[in-house]
């Protein structure tokens, strides 16, 4: 034990020394010649929101963004409910505010499950025009609070049962004026769920935009929840049975059109998940895009600068 501690101490000391030397070296270089100010690349996406997903885009500091998200029902009932237009729809209203050019906070309220949410998005790395930083790195967190009746949370109710957490790292790149793309692994955790479900889930998401006119783009995205035995609370046989019965959460595919102006972004699209908040889609989506589980979605964002 003592030996392990000693080795760990030495490793840490070496690491600190190395980092210190690197920073000193960098400082000396900086003093020798005035570094040119890097120009950040233009935002990879028009809005901080793409379908149900966040993008790396953070509006300039002191900008307020109002968000309206509307999801109709799925088309699977056909003409009976006019392909989902008359079916129960889900709606989220949100407000985001950019505290700095790299930090945004937000709140929102969603109809399904009476979800209330707090959001925070931070860009520790921003792509530069010179290419010295080829990507924008974003950390995104959504804290959800289910505000439905407490009887929905079983026995031994506690407020914390209502909480869910979605943590995502977004790596995005604006390849040129027309094409941008991002990949975004995420970790979702629910404090309280049905006993047959796992509380944790890892998901891979991807999104892309192709701008075909100064204001219009084709947009696509997908969320792919993974069933990982290593983080599952159930045994392999149980998980296999869930999969075989088709009860595992379905991926969320989205394809649509975005029109953006100076202050608005409007997205109209076909997608599969109806829950809007990412953790809700990742944990509960049962709509299969390739088996009639398609719905019409609309997003509208409006910006105010202060």
Partner 1 sequence: MKNTIKSLFLLGSVVAFMVTTMSMTQKPGEPWNIPAKYKTMKSTVKAGDASINAEGKELYNKHCKSCHGAKGLGDGPKAASMKTSTGDFSSKGFQAQTDGEIYYQSFIGRGEMPNFEKKITDENDRWAVVGYIRTMKK
Give contact residues for partner 1 (rule: CB under 8 A): 39-40, 42, 60, 62-63, 101, 177, 214-215, 260-263, 305
- Alpha-carbon distance of 158 to 42, in angstroms, equals 45
Shortest Cβ 296–partner 1 spacing (Å)? 26
2 sits in which H/E element: helix 2-32
Q: Which residues contact 238 (CB under 8 A, 6 or more apart)?
A: none
Shortest Cβ 120–partner 1 spacing (Å)? 21
Alpha carbons within 13 angstroms on the beta-carbon side of residue 288 total 6
Q: Which residue lies nearer to partner 1 by CB, 2 or 39? A: 39
Shortest Cβ 215–partner 1 spacing (Å)? 6
Q: Which residue lies nearer to partner 1 by CB, 64 or 105? A: 64
Q: Which residue lies nearer to partner 1 by CB, 40 or 185? A: 40
Shortest Cβ 109–partner 1 spacing (Å)? 27
Shortest Cβ 123–partner 1 spacing (Å)? 14
**DSSP characters for 5-57?**
HHHHHHHHHHHHHHHHHHHHHHHHHHHHS-PPPPPBPPPSSSSSEETTEE-S-
Q: Which residues contact 101 (CB under 8 A, 6 or more apart)?
A: 58, 60, 61
Show the tokens assigned to 298: 């609309």
Q: Which residue lies nearer to partner 1 by CB, 64 or 68? A: 64
Closest CA to 67 of 98, 92, 36: 92
Q: Which residue lies nearer to partner 1 by CB, 59 or 188? A: 59
- How far is the CA of 287 from the CAs of 75, 112, 117, 257, 292, in angstroms? 10, 15, 23, 21, 8
Shortest Cβ 129–partner 1 spacing (Å)? 9
- Alpha-carbon distance of 36 to 267, in angstroms, equals 38
Q: Which residue lies nearer to partner 1 by CB, 3 or 37? A: 37
């Amino acid at each position: 034990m003592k030996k392990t501690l000693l080795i760990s101490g030495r490793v840490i000391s070496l690491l600190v020394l190395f980092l210190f030397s690197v920073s000193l070296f960098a400082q000396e270089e900086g003093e020798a010649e005035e570094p040119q100010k890097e120009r950040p690349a233009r935002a990879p996406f028009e809005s901080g929101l793409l379908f149900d997903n966040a993008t790396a885009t953070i509006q300039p500091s002191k900008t307020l963004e109002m968000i309206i998200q509307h999801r109709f029902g799925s088309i699977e009932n056909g003409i009976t409910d006019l392909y989902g237009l008359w079916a129960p729809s889900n709606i989220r209203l949100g407000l985001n505010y950019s505290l700095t050019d790299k930090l945004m906070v937000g709140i929102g309220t969603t109809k399904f499950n009476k979800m209330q949410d707090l959001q925070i998005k931070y860009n520790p790395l921003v792509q530069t025009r010179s290419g010295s930083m080829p990507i924008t790195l974003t950390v995104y967190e959504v804290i959800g609070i289910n505000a439905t009746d407490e009887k929905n949370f079983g026995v031994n109710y506690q407020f914390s049962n209502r909480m869910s957490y979605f943590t995502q790292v977004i790596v995005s790149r604006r390849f040129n004026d027309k094409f941008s793309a991002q990949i975004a692994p995420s970790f979702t955790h629910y404090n309280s769920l049905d006993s047959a479900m796992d509380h944790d889930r890892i998901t891979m998401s991807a999104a892309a935009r192709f701008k075909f006119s100064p204001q219009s783009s084709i947009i696509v995205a997908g969320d792919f929840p993974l069933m990982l035995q290593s983080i599952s609370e159930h045994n392999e046989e149980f998980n296999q049975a869930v999969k075989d019965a088709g009860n595992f959460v379905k991926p969320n595919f989205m394809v649509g059109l975005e029109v953006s102006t100076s202050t608005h972004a409007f997205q109209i699209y076909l997608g599969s998940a109806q829950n809007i908040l990412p953790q809700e889609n990742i944990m509960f989506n049962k709509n299969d895009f390739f088996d009639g589980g398609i719905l019409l979605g609309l997003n509208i964002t409006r910006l105010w600068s202060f």
